[in-house]
Structure 1
Amino acid sequence: MKWVGDARLAAGPEAAWYLETAFTPGAYLGTVYDDPTTPIVVTGIEEVTTIRVPSGRLVVDAPFDDDDVSRYEQGLPTRPPRELAVSIPPGVYRVEIAWTAGPYEFFGEYFDGVECAATRLRLSDGPVIGWEMGLGVEDDIDRIQPGKEPQFYSDANVGCFADAGAWTTLSAPFRAFKDGIPVPRDTERLPGWCERVRDESQQADLVTFGAESGGIVWLGRTATGDVAAIVVTSGMPGTKA
């Protein structure tokens, strides 16, 4: 039987187009702001690293936020991370970034305009036939207003994929502050300004990526309803009521 999703979660035409186009090298995504003559083009898809998710429970959230760090320093309970309601098969998955370029001039200086269009956790090579918003475990579908997308927020413009079962250990390097100043993190530096933290005791990882002010999580489903991809976007066309 072909998968049929909940219409309340379905990506609208603009969002669905963006999600497909962002991962198509050479595709045209629009034009540079204030310059309709210069196109923004998908320059390529980069595999940044792989991530281990042994629990099958996935966090897609900021690795920290200002309020969280303050509470952590005071020894107070911090908010739980945004764990997705959908579970995935335990395994090792590819983390990929779709890059775009749209050259522009600013006060006489020229820039290449390279940006991250979207970040993808690739679970399988199965063809995606539909996209829907990825709810968190605490989201209530009946309370989602038409045209609104549940999302995570990030004070530092950073998001992450992480195994939920090892979250406390994996996120700890991002909560290390002294006198309000971040302590240098003992993390693995990756391409695209990403970082990785490993928990060898649980064989689990956390991988960061750029997420301007946060991001919306999208699930790409196959004809059988399996999740083939989890994509995070920031500042893109949203769903339509």
Structure 2
Amino acid sequence: MPMPAPDFSWHFTPGRTFTEDDSGTAGTLRVVGGGELWLPTGRVIACDPFVALGAGEAEPFTAEVAPGRYRVEAAVATLVREEGEPEPDTPHLRVAAARLVIRDAPAVSWELALQAGQALGDLDDEEFFGYGVDAGTGCFYDAGCDGSFPDCQGDEGPLWDAFDTVPPTPGPHTVTDPTTGHNLVAFTSGWGDGVYPTWIGRDEAGAITCFVTDFFVVPAEALVS
């Protein structure tokens, strides 16, 4: 069977705590708002914007929602080192998960967000479909906006500026094209580069409540304790 989804309401409950068994690092979660994402077509893309934005490589998910504006938020973990180790000068923050909220209703079921040509039957045990991260960053945006951020491509521009804060913050950060109003919401990707799944939550009626990208910061043991 493909990798099962955790209940992501755990991640987005402020004050939840967890401990990494191997390192002894303890984490406390809080929810950080990222403003509203405009979805003019309702076709959602999740990707590493520094790699895929404007390259024509990022495909939207097959599950679509009504066009509109939807809030984005991140479950951010503040990490504390094992007892006896020195603490850094600034808080150690990691984005555990990022959520695009479609409706404020509890999700009672979860499914992998799929792109065209992907099928759950193609996955072996504990496998998943996800997007690759090579620049330590993820984002949500609308497929109809893919060509709207030419200034974000390359080694400078508003996307770089969004993350260039003192002290550095993991996001979410909103970048908006002043001409079209198209925007994206970006955030750091957990521990950095890798491949990360996006999940779709549905309510009791089967309607989509959210898209959640999991960055594997919260250990699986914490979610069943």
Fold shared per TM-score above 0.5 = yes
Query: Could you tell me whether the CA contact under 8 Å between 1:122 and 1:228 is conserved in 2?
Result: yes
Query: Could you tell me whether the CA contact under 8 Å between 2:74 and 2:172 is conserved in 1?
Result: no
Query: Could you tell me whether the CA contact under 8 Å between 2:32 and 2:172 is conserved in 1?
Result: no
**Counterpart for residue 223 of structure 2:** none
Q: Deviations over 1:52-105 (max 9, x none)?
A: 00111111111142xx69xx9xxxxx4521311100110101110112223116
Runs (4+) off by over 6 Å: none
TM-score normalised by L of structure 1: 0.75
Question: Which has more radius of gyration?
Answer: 1
1:49 aligns with 2:35: yes
How do 1:53-92 and structure 2 match up within 5 A? 53-65=39-51, 78-92=55-69
- Matches of 2:187 and 2:78, distance apart in 1: 18
Q: Cα distance, 1:203 vs. partner?
A: 4.0
1:149 aligns with 2:128: yes
Once superposed, what is the RMSD of the aligned Cα atoms? 2.8
TM-score normalised by L of structure 2: 0.79
Q: Deviations over 1:146-181 (max 9, x none)?
A: 3211000011011111110120123x23323xxxxx
Query: Could you tell me whether the CA contact under 8 Å between 1:84 and 1:137 is conserved in 2?
Result: yes
- Matches of 1:105 and 1:27, distance apart in 2: 18
Aligned to 1:189, the other structure's residue is in SS state helix
- Matches of 1:27 and 1:106, distance apart in 2: 20
Aligned to 2:49, the other structure's residue is in SS state coil
- Matches of 1:82 and 1:174, distance apart in 2: 18
1:234 aligns with 2:215: yes
Q: How many residues align?
A: 208
How do 1:1-241 and structure 2 match up within 5 A? 12=4, 15-17=5-7, 19-31=8-20, 33-35=22-24, 39-42=26-29, 44-65=30-51, 78-104=55-81, 109-111=86-88, 112-170=91-149, 172-176=150-154, 182=155, 184-187=156-159, 189=162, 192-199=170-177, 202-211=180-189, 212-213=192-193, 214-235=195-216
- Matches of 1:40 and 1:32, distance apart in 2: 12
Identity of aligned residues (%): 23
Aligned to 1:218, the other structure's residue is in SS state strand
Which 10-residue stretch deviates more, 205-214 or 87-96? 205-214
- Give 5+ residue unaligned stretches, structure 2: 164-168, 221-225
